[in-house]
Structure 1
């Protein structure tokens, strides 16, 4: 997991991820985001699920609406190191 270094979920632990670039395949984005945030080179496998995450302000107005697409990934290279948008990176069981 990565501890987010910037808003909107700064300080929270989450699965590495980010914005899909135009023309980028989902699995390519998973590989890129893992490398950018953790220093790891991964091979995406099974699709684990598709989830919504809606963040609201104190008046319950929607501020962010994320669609999260999670893959089970296998490490194939690299070294675990916080980078880019991550304040920390750590393995959890």
Structure 2
């Protein structure tokens, strides 16, 4: 009986610690889910820009977007930028 009373005292005195551990565990589970979503997006090619906005070192993605635009053009393409090279 004394053991159970002592266990109860220990649980009550450390309730805030257990609460903090539960919060940490929930945050870790959320981070794991976000990581899993990122890995799925990488595998499923969901990270491709849909609006044509690219950042440094994303040259291939920009080239892929331009190639897709060229492929779906019905009759002509009008370039608004003066930059044209042999790949265009």
Larger Rg: 2
**Structure with higher RCO (Cα < 8 A, 6+ apart):** 1
**Comparing both structures, which one devotes a greater share of its residues to strand?**
1
**TM-score interval, normalised by the smaller of the two chains:** under 0.3
**Comparing both structures, which one devotes a greater share of its residues to helix?**
2
Using the size of structure 1 for normalisation, the TM-score is: 0.22
Using the size of structure 2 for normalisation, the TM-score is: 0.23
